[in-house]
Structure 1
Amino acid sequence: MWTLTLSLSSLLSASFFYPLEFQIGQILLVDHLALIISTAVTLFSSIVLSYSARYMAGHKKLRRFLINCVLFTVSALLMAISNHVLLFIASWLSMGLLMAELIGGYTKYHEGKASKKNARNYFLVSTALVAAGLLWLAMLTGAWSISEIISLVEQDRQLVIWQASLLLIAGAVVQSALFPFQRWLMSSMTAPTPASALMHAGFVNAGAVLLTRTATVIYMSDLLWVLVMVGGIGALIGKFSKFVQANIKQKLACSTTAQMGFMLLQCGLGFFSAAVAHLILHGFYKAYLFLSSGSNVVQESPYNGDSKRSWKQWYLPVTLLSGLAGGWLFAISTGKGLELNSGLFLTFVIVLTVIHGAQDFLGRSSLPLLSRLIALPLIIIPALLAYAVIFNGISVLMQQTPMAEVALPIGWDQITIGVLYLATFLTIELKWYKKSRRLYVYLLNVSQPKSNTILQ
């Protein structure tokens, strides 16, 4: 199995160097987007399957667990290359049902059964929304392949109705566990760690694949602002909720909702290729964090978990300079942020991220002062360049994907979320959120799993 999956990954990777796009009737479509997603899925799956064989050694349901993981992988691959509306819906549904089984089928009976039922209900809602949106478009255009629907929409803007786009967006939001649908993800902690890694590395990312496949429809329905608002707010709630968690896996779940929110926000900015790049990077990073989560267990209060961080006034100019330098490096290496359009928002987020990372490094590092100042650019520059290479590489590969990257004029939605992002950044960095018990309780409540899914 491991040899097969790795060989498939190598074959798919080699195909990137050739201008490839072919269809099998109206059923399957293999293009660079399908190859990117398929390669990521097979790599994630091979890693998780290899880990599972050791992690669950001796478990009476190990064989069943591995079979379900393989079936889930097949469903995800089928979703990536599906072109027929009915086949895409079927693969989306099968992914949800198999993931529900992985979440609740291998732990204590009562909690596992409850979490399985809870997840399955959310996934059925997501499937119903996606099915309604795609079927609506199929009936409207008279076409049953996604590529043909996109082609007809490009020829006649009047064929696009906002209701279908709104249904597709809602289905992606549920699948991505964004507010107010985040509780299915918070209630999935009954899943074995390998299943959590597979879920957070691939399953919740499926919304970006759906939105990228239907980018033309959503763009022409003028509903990208909905993605900006929903993704931005979901990211903020997930980011804040992470700070009030005491459980490692709950922290990672909140982090995932934040990352999925930013991923959908990138779609709303018109950068669907950036969302796909984010999907892959987040998948690798989150799979690693879940598979290594046992080594990070410590006893601490969520209120005082970062009490070891020290702050000095001279950090401020250093971190600000690092953020501006990081934003400039990202802008010149990707071309985003050099013009007055939605690319500025991506650069703005990079600036805030670098400032936060620099402050965290300076405050926590045990290295001498001079060593920290020397090491900071040595960490930031390679990291940003690596991100830029992946970002640009995915953008080049997806050039033939309709509407994969269309910079938008700066609008009220981007300004609103930008102000909220800046306010959130200041609230987190200056620890203002710790001064509000009301905010703490709200965030704790909104990120709680359902009581019957908590392992006793």
Structure 2
Amino acid sequence: MSVSLFFLSLNLLILDLIYFFEFEMLNINSSLVVMTILIDWMSLLFMSFVMFISSMVIYYSYEYMANDLNLNRFIFLVVMFVLSMMLLIISPNLMSILLGWDGLGLVSYCLVIYYQNMKSFNAGMLTALTNRIGDVMLLMSIAWMLNYGSWNYIFYLEELKFDKFMIIISFLVLLAALTKSAQIPFSSWLPAAMAAPTPVSSLVHSSTLVTAGVYLLIRFNFCFNDNLMFFLLFISSMTMFMSGMGANFEFDLKKIIALSTLSQLGLMMSILALGNYKLAFFHLLTHALFKALLFMCAGNVIHNLNNCQDIRFMGNLINSMPLTCVFMNISNLSLCGLPFLSGFYSKDLIVEVMSMNYLNLYIYMIFYISIGLTVSYSFRLVYYSCIGNFNYISLNMLSESSKIMLKGMSGLIFLVIFMGSCLSWMMFFTPYIIILPFLMKLMTLIMIILGMWLGLGGSKFTLNYKNFFLLNYNYSFFLSNMWNMPFISTLGINYYPIYFGSLYYNNLDQGWSEYYGAQKIYLFLCNNSKSMQIIFNNNIKFFFILMVFWLVFIMFI
């Protein structure tokens, strides 16, 4: 399916065709319910990538989740997840987008709480509550779309760009996308969602849940005005910088990769805010490939280390797990933007297009600093896991005996290497002409080398000089905790409404209103009807007694 969709999307891209299907579901009098589907090169290409990655992940999870008692339930949940994403991709209609959007939110909650411990439940609740904000924003945008007589937003984007209703709708859609793609201030759920099984993390963080927000913005990008674009640029650049800093201080393997996803999402959003949606889509596709592979490698490492995720316990894995380390390093280098791997083609192009634009120094600096930070945490991860000393227990059994998992990863490695160049040739018929001074052209390479030096040198420094972190504990704690966002979004925002909700529930809903409200009326009616019941149950006796009374009454009269 994936391969056929890929070639079909190429056909539509070359012929510049868009197919718009309408299925009449219900027709009563003048009420018509129609299901609309949009088939163009973008939706087909994205669907082919989602299908390919999900097939590899499901194949991989047959061995990763082999000891799980509910493997079929897990596979069904993953398939439902993918189907929800498919519905979202092919929808030109806000109603069907909401179905896919909510499907993603609900199934992701089920997958995050899959292991059913307290950490999973907390993470699941944070994920669900944050995503509910986005769902509410979409519902409100659906209500505002009623002003136009149809929910097929695709017809109205460019024509009604400056209409006041469309400005409100685009702002609501932007907020919905910020929650789903975990931009500031909704970032804290993304690392928390790492409580899910690793195959799910691989799927969620590459091509499905978090990219849904970016995809929605790519579809809606024609109706954004300059103020909204400026707001999105600021938020996404801050997210990119914040997650890059956080990943350099993190020790949980999966959380480091989750923060790198957040950084790349910020990059996609920021180039989208600069008005280049095709480049954002290009990076979305290449990022999906190497991020899925990176998570699968991390899953294999965690599997072999008896579910240990702390990178300080790893080290020297290159000797015991050579193939996994090779895959991990290639996807890491692709993430860094090493020339001629898939990540390079999209990332370098994004940065150079940004350099071509007339922007302020803040945006220019934060882009390049974020690239340096990406390389820094990637090489820090390589140092701790592959190069450094082996710090795990002496009695261990590290091996690459997991054939199915390795086959699943091998399916992705060729795409990670070659797909970037193929996509750049296919998507951009006329190449981007970028004319920059020599120093600005080399700026990306300079930042990569600086980040590499910082990542490897900084890792050795923190290992040898542990007192350095003790001296700057508050500083490192603040940065590693994503600028205290998890505390703000749990104990700050969610805690008080839930606490007051429990008080309201106990004192009013189950308290006074229960006593004076429906239950009291119910008891009152019950008691009254019971007194009448005595009469109805003994009706013959009462009939004879009344007859006697009546006869006596007649006689006396």
TM-score normalized with structure 2 length: 0.59
- When residues 11 and 243 of structure 1 are mapped into structure 2, their CA distance, relative to the original with a 3 A threshold, is same
Q: Measure how far apart 1:335 and its partner are.
A: 8.1
The counterpart of 1:112, out of the listed 114, 120, 132, is 120
Does 2:153 correspond to 1:146?
A: yes
Q: Measure how far apart 1:354 and its partner are.
A: 7.9
State the one-letter code of the partner of 1:115.
A
Task: List aligned pairs for 1:56-455, cutoff 5 A.
Answer: 56-104=65-113, 106-136=114-144, 138-154=145-161, 157-159=162-164, 161-202=166-207, 203-218=209-224, 220=225, 222-294=227-299, 296=301, 336=353, 339-341=356-358, 349=367, 353=371, 387=420, 390-391=423-424, 393-396=426-429, 436-445=472-481, 446=484
Alignment check: 8 A CA contact 1:172 1:211 kept: yes
- When residues 300 and 208 of structure 1 are mapped into structure 2, their CA distance, relative to the original with a 3 A threshold, is closer
Q: Measure how far apart 1:149 and its partner are.
A: 1.9
- When residues 329 and 183 of structure 1 are mapped into structure 2, their CA distance, relative to the original with a 3 A threshold, is closer
- When residues 264 and 392 of structure 1 are mapped into structure 2, their CA distance, relative to the original with a 3 A threshold, is farther
Deviations for 1:363-405, whole angstroms, at most 9, x for unmatched residues?
Answer: 9899xxxxxxxxxxxxxxxx999756634633559x9xxxxx9
Question: Could you tell me which residue of structure 1 aligns to residue 545 of structure 2?
Answer: none
State the one-letter code of the partner of 2:18.
E
Q: Measure how far apart 1:46 and its partner are.
A: 0.9
Question: Could you tell me which residue of structure 1 aligns to residue 327 of structure 2?
Answer: none
Alignment check: 8 A CA contact 2:205 2:291 kept: yes
| Worse-matched range after superposition: 34-43 or 350-359 | 350-359
- When residues 215 and 115 of structure 1 are mapped into structure 2, their CA distance, relative to the original with a 3 A threshold, is same
- When residues 88 and 251 of structure 1 are mapped into structure 2, their CA distance, relative to the original with a 3 A threshold, is same
- When residues 259 and 305 of structure 1 are mapped into structure 2, their CA distance, relative to the original with a 3 A threshold, is farther
Alignment check: 8 A CA contact 1:193 1:291 kept: yes
Secondary structure class of the residue paired with 1:23: strand
CA distance in 1, matches of 2:8, 2:359: 35
State the one-letter code of the partner of 1:23.
F
Deviations for 1:129-169, whole angstroms, at most 9, x for unmatched residues?
Answer: 12323432x13333320211225315xx2345543222211
Secondary structure class of the residue paired with 2:156: helix
Q: Measure how far apart 1:236 and its partner are.
A: 0.7
Q: Measure how far apart 1:194 and its partner are.
A: 0.6
The counterpart of 2:61, out of the listed 46, 52, 59, is 52
State the one-letter code of the partner of 1:183.
S
- When residues 147 and 333 of structure 1 are mapped into structure 2, their CA distance, relative to the original with a 3 A threshold, is closer
- When residues 161 and 29 of structure 1 are mapped into structure 2, their CA distance, relative to the original with a 3 A threshold, is closer
CA distance in 2, matches of 1:74, 1:426: 40
TM-score normalized with structure 1 length: 0.71
Count of residue pairs the alignment pairs up: 389
Residue segments in structure 1 that go unaligned for 5+ positions in a row: 307-322, 367-382, 400-404, 408-420, 452-456
- When residues 48 and 301 of structure 1 are mapped into structure 2, their CA distance, relative to the original with a 3 A threshold, is closer
State the one-letter code of the partner of 2:156.
I
Deviations for 1:414-447, whole angstroms, at most 9, x for unmatched residues?
Answer: xxxxxxx99x979967969968433211123337
Alignment check: 8 A CA contact 2:253 2:310 kept: no
Secondary structure class of the residue paired with 1:201: coil
Q: Measure how far apart 1:8 and its partner are.
A: 4.7
Deviations for 1:96-115, whole angstroms, at most 9, x for unmatched residues?
Answer: 111111121x2134433333
Q: Measure how far apart 1:189 and its partner are.
A: 2.2
Question: Could you tell me which residue of structure 1 aligns to residue 506 of structure 2?
Answer: none
Alignment check: 8 A CA contact 2:252 2:310 kept: no
Question: Could you tell me which residue of structure 1 aligns to residue 18 of structure 2?
Answer: 21
Q: Measure how far apart 1:17 and its partner are.
A: 4.0
CA distance in 1, matches of 2:345, 2:68: 52
Deviations for 1:216-236, whole angstroms, at most 9, x for unmatched residues?
Answer: 111x36310111100000111
Give the CA RMSD over aligned residues: 4.6
- When residues 436 and 161 of structure 1 are mapped into structure 2, their CA distance, relative to the original with a 3 A threshold, is farther
CA distance in 1, matches of 2:76, 2:3: 18
Q: Measure how far apart 1:11 and its partner are.
A: 4.7
Deviations for 1:231-259, whole angstroms, at most 9, x for unmatched residues?
Answer: 00011110001011111001111111111
Alignment check: 8 A CA contact 1:93 1:127 kept: yes
Question: Could you tell me which residue of structure 1 aligns to residue 499 of structure 2?
Answer: none
Alignment check: 8 A CA contact 2:171 2:228 kept: yes
- When residues 303 and 41 of structure 1 are mapped into structure 2, their CA distance, relative to the original with a 3 A threshold, is closer
CA distance in 2, matches of 1:444, 1:334: 26
Which of the pair has more CA radius of gyration?
A: 2
Alignment check: 8 A CA contact 1:96 1:123 kept: yes
CA distance in 2, matches of 1:6, 1:93: 28
State the one-letter code of the partner of 1:148.
F
Secondary structure class of the residue paired with 2:38: strand
- When residues 61 and 35 of structure 1 are mapped into structure 2, their CA distance, relative to the original with a 3 A threshold, is same
CA distance in 1, matches of 2:377, 2:195: 35
> Sequence identity, in percent?
21
Secondary structure class of the residue paired with 1:60: coil
Deviations for 1:258-306, whole angstroms, at most 9, x for unmatched residues?
Answer: 1111111111111111111111111111111111104556999989999
Structure with the larger RCO, 1 or 2 (CA within 8 Å, 6+ apart): 1
